[in-house]
Amino acid sequence: MTQSKKIAVTGGIGSGKSVACRIIKEMGLPVFSCDEIYAEIIKREEYVEQVKKAFPMCVVEGAVDRKRLSERVFHDEDERKKLNAIAHPLIMQELFAQMELHSLSVAEVPLLFEEGLEGYFDGVLAITRDLRLRLDGVCKRDGLKEEQVTLRMNRQFPPTRLQEKNCTVIENNGTKDELKEKLENYFRSFGA
């Protein structure tokens, strides 16, 4: 098999990266999710033990308490970095093991630029959407107040800085069909 091509899809909360990934999957390409991989890794004994050493109060009855862990790291940058140093190598190892089995595959990587992971991929698709659409969509989807969503957005890589990155930006302000057409055009360059 020829060397596999790995494409990352990223974007801020509410940008539509998950919708984009569903469309890509419908196009017949294998799509992997870092969030889904994390959901599996969090159950692994090696991960639980590492979390227990770093965050003892966040492991209850042999399992990681995601809510406690999230509360612990959300407002503390040092604690968040400590958790990411445990989780991200395991996530990326599993992700690349799965992607390597395909000639062309896609990964949804929410914190791609924040964690400096873009260099590991052959292409990066950054999904963007107008701020108002993002705010309204996330508030409705997650039942959050606008201030809560804004706080999360402010912790993410700003869309205004995407021109600094070697990536393809796809605006998602229209219909699902318009997004699909943009994605199909992008993947045509990879022979998909």
Report pLDDT digits (tens) over 80-122. Answer: 899 999 999 999 999 999 999 999 999 999 889 988 899 999 9
Q: How confident is the model at residue 181 (pLDDT cuts 50, 70, 90)?
A: very high
The answer to whether 71 and 83 have CB atoms below 8 angstroms apart is no
The helices-and-strands tally (H runs, E runs) of the chain is 8, 7
SS3 category, 83: helix
Looking at 123-165, which runs of residues are DSSP E strands?
123-128
Predicted confidence at residue 155, as pLDDT, reads 83
- Using a 10 angstrom Cβ sphere, with 0-12 exposed, 13-18 middle and 19 or more buried, the burial of residue 57 is exposed
Whose structure tokens read 């196009």?
27
Predicted confidence at residue 93, as pLDDT, reads 94
Predicted confidence at residue 148, as pLDDT, reads 87
> Would the pLDDT of 40 be above 70?
yes
Give all domains of the chain, ordered by start, each with its CATH number: 1-30+104-192 (3.40.50.300), 36-101 (no CATH)
Q: How confident is the model at residue 1 (pLDDT cuts 50, 70, 90)?
A: very low
